[in-house]
Amino acid sequence: MAAAATAARILELDPAHPRAGRVIDDIVRMEKRIFPKHESLARTFHDELKRRNTALIYSAAAATIPTTGDAAAASDEEEEVVGYAMYTCATSLCASITKLAVKESRRRQGHGEALLMAAVEGCRRRRVQRVSLHVDPARAAAVALYRKAGFQVDATVVGYYAPRRDAYRISVSQFN
């Protein structure tokens, strides 16, 4: 399972990089496919990226059908964005992971765990004490992933996503 994720690279989006526009377009398309319209950041993604202390990391892996025939030699253009995480370090005390998603065809290969750990590590480097996020309790795989990483349920937020659709607020404390 983790072998696929180790073949992927976790990168922080550099808006000045020539490939940044393509990466953002890939993520916006993924956002539209994965999340219901009322939960999607697709329409406001560029504005979210401009927010202070917001970071976007993504997992890039060799395309499923490399054009060169050698997946290990794939260039940036032959890589696909397989997942992403967005987080905001609002204060030195608390950060929030606002999005974490992996393409459906690339799930259960370690990409989500690698992105989650990279986001938590990014917060740790900024000396954040606590990282939190919201997750739909019905998304059992996501809840299991977060618990495996040490997150604990703090509260249930009634009607967070929609009427009769709650969320767990979960968090993990950092070690200095």
For residue 58, the SS3 value is strand
Q: Which residues are registered as beta bridge partners of 57? A: 12, 85
The fold adopted by the segment(s) 2-132 is: Aminopeptidase (3.40.630)
Q: How many CB atoms lie within 10 A of CB 32?
A: 15
Using CA atoms in the order 11, 16, 22, 26, what is the torsion angle rounded to 10 degrees?
A: 50
Q: Alpha helix (H) ranges present in the chain?
A: 2-7, 20-34, 45-50, 111-125, 140-148
Question: What is the reported pLDDT for 50?
Answer: 75
Q: How many CB atoms lie within 10 A of CB 27?
A: 23
Question: What is the reported pLDDT for 151?
Answer: 95
Whole-prediction pTM: 0.81
- Per-residue pLDDT in tens (0 to 9) along the chain, 176 residues: 455 555 678 888 887 788 888 898 898 888 888 887 777 776 777 777 778 788 999 998 877 554 444 444 444 457 889 999 999 988 778 999 999 999 998 888 899 999 999 999 999 888 898 999 999 999 999 999 999 999 999 999 999 998 999 999 999 986 54
Instruction: Kindly list the domain boundaries of the chain, sorted by start residue.
Output: 2-132
Three-class secondary structure assignment of 116-136: HHHHHHHHHHCCCCEEEEEEC
